[in-house]
Structures are given as structure tokens and as C-alpha cells.
Structure 1
Amino acid sequence: MCGRYTSTRSPEDLTRPFQVTDCRPEETLAPSWNMAPTDEVYTGPQPTIYLLWALGDEETRWVIEAAHERTIERVLEWIEDEVAVIRYGKDGIYRVQPPGGLVAARFRHYEARSGMPLLHDHLLLSVKGLRLDGKWGSIHTLVLHENTVAASALYNELVAAEVCEAMGLATEPRTVTPGHRPVMEFAGVSHELIRWTSRRSDQIAACLEHLEHSTSPPSTTTAS
């Protein structure tokens, strides 16, 4: 969800997107264009890791959730130490790291929109950070977005390494799209089972195919 949208809606407007069944706000803030958060989503890096989580026993799920939790904390530390900067001065010419770190809220979900089991967390990062002078400054959101792929890759590498070490597993490369770099999956899981988890990709492909067949080019009329 777009952070700017979230920050400019009333609490009642947000009950449906966030599936809130009981909303009784007693004290609310006025809509603001300056406090919009950004949304980072952390999920199992490969289909095989959430297959293990969904189909495994209680101990397996505990190991994966613990690795997931620790990895998110490490990635957030990396963002705070290496990525996030506060812009200030005319045109934001001065940039400093937020000395107190970032303001974040995290929400955990256990299934995807389709209803398939999917362990993942939404991490909402405020675009305001406290400067050394005690004033609030604006986090450079462009830098955050430019490092989204790097943060995702770091999460994937760390959580897979920890799960492999804890459970004695190994990874192997798997080609998803011909011509693209292969992705790392846990070894020993069949391709058919991995494809079973790709419901969202299949839905997108089916929707595109439907649009291609249902949309005809505009007709042209020749004036006599």
C-alpha cells in the first residue's frame, strides 16, 4: 500500500485494506502529507522455505520463524547503518544518518491474498527521523527505494543460510525464467510442488492472456 495514501486517510478508510473488524478510534491525528511511511515486505526468499514452514512440523516452523525474525532485524540494522539518511538544508543538500535509528511498525501475516500459506512481514518505515539537534527531518525516500532490491537480496541470503545451518539443509540453483539468473532453492523439493505455490504468477499470466484476447484494436472509418 502506498504510504502517502495511508497517511492521508481516516482510520475508518483503512479498516478494509487492513482487514480490521473492530475499529473504535478515540483519538486520531489529522491527515498529513509529511508522515507517509514506506512499506517493506519480507517473506520467505524461495517457495521452498515457506513450503517447509507450511507443511513442516512445529519444530520446523519454529526454526523458520525464528530465522525470519532475526533476519528482519539484521536487514533493518543494515538499512539504518548503511542506507537511511536525513536530508536537511536548502534542497536537502545536507545529509546525515538518523542517530536514533528509524521509526518502524511491523505486522506479521501468515497467508497470501489467495489464501495460500505464506509467512511474511510488512515493515512500515516512517519518512521522518530525529536529528542530532533534536529536530525531526525527512528521510531520503529515494535512497530507500533504490536499495529495495539489495535489502531483499540480503534478507534472502541471510535467512536461507540460517535455516540451512539449523536444519542441515542445502540449496541448489533453479532456473525460473530462461535467460535470467537462476534462483537458489532448498535442494530436494520437486519442481511440481514449487509450481503449486506460484498461484499469484499464474493469476497474473491468466489475466494478461485474457486482456490480450478480449481487447481488439480500434476500428478505423474511411471518410467517403
Structure 2
Amino acid sequence: MAPQKLTVGIFSRDGQDNYKWLIHVLRQAMFLDLVQYTFPVYIGNNVRAFTDALAQCTFAILYHTKKSGRLNITDVTESLYDEELKDLAGQLGSNVVVVVDDLDDSSEGIKRRMLIEQPLIKACARDLILISESEKKAANLTGSDPRWSPPPISQESNGSMESKIYKLKQFMEEALGISSGKPAHETSLLLRDKPQLLVDQPKEPNTRPKKSNRKKWLIIGGVSSALFVIILIIVLCLTLK
């Protein structure tokens, strides 16, 4: 039986217009077998609304846009999501991803610095995915099926928009216990290196003499040798007389 699909909540203090591209992507063909339903959750002062929405989710994305000001997600002055991120992780475990959008620079160096300065992100989320404005402009995210363009030159070290969306897809597959397919050549290598099962081979006929027969022939051979020696001694004695 196929695993149940995910209900994905996108939690944010930012308006839905900022991440409607993400909702659109999650509703496309590449997520069809993974996501049953995607809905936005505005984080405000209504704690009951937050907890009710969280109870419906099996996967959560915590979204923050640089357009709202600083990258003050957790662990810093006036951080926005300390308690909410803890609640998400407490309810969903590793099925939580933080997405930070509209950056000038989404390089691996920026990601490392954020994880060091805001360690609660690493402690509570499966991953931190950074998206730059230039990456989004290089990709068609509003069509019926996303089309990807090469990443901007300044962002090549941290992959393209395509690789980041596919990373999110991989996390969802793992949440459902689905293994990502491997290229055919990798599969063949795995099979080649895998220990082969021993198959019972037809037994060859036993051409060796049975133990009892072998013992009988050894006795006969010994007696014959003894008789030969006795006869030889008799002949020598007669010859010397």
C-alpha cells in the first residue's frame, strides 16, 4: 500500500504573497505523489490558531523573507521564531525545514554563518535552504511546470534553484519513507558489489571408493608384499647353498 501523502504547512510572520511561488511549486507534478495538501499558516498572537494548524501538519516549512528586514530567525536580538521553531520540531521531529527567501547572497558561506550565529535552526530543523532574488528570477516558478535555468554566477557554489527544490523533495520522500531512485549505472554497481547468494549446485557423483573397499585392498596389498618378501628369501637361500 502506498504511504499516505504529506500535509504541508508553511508557517511565517510574512504575508502569503511573499511565498505564493513556494505554494505553487509544491502543487506541481514533481510533488504530486508526496503532497496531499499545502496551506499557509500566519504566525500572529493567536496561539490557538498556531497549535491547531500544527496539529494538522505532517511536514512544516518555516518561511522568512529578507524583505521583512533582518535575518533574525532565532537566537538573536528580537528573533521572530524561537518558540515556534521549537514547537514545530517538538510536534514533527525532523520533518521541519527553514526557508529564507529574497537574499542578496545565498552562498554556502552565508548559510554556515547563519547556522553558527543561530544554532537553534540546526537543532530544530532538517535543513536551512537559502533562496536569492536572482535565483528566483532565473527560474520559471509560476508556470504549469517549473523550468530551471543555470544559477547566477555568484550563486554557483551553493547550487541552483533546481537543486534546492529537489533537496526539499528528497526530505519529503524521506518523511514518507520513500527511497529516492538511483541512476541505472549506480544500481548495477550496487548489484555487482553485493555478495552473491550461494545456490545449491548439483552434486558430482562420488567416484572415490568407499572406505570399507579401500581398507580391504590395503590388506590384500600388504599380504601380497609379505608373500613376495618370503618367496624372495627362500630363493636366495636355495641359490646360496
* Common topology (TM > 0.5): no
| TM-score, normalising length: structure 1 | 0.23
The structure with more helix, counted as a fraction of residues:
2
Q: Quick check: which has more Rg, 1 or 2?
A: 2
The structure with more strand, counted as a fraction of residues:
1
| TM-score, normalising length: structure 2 | 0.22
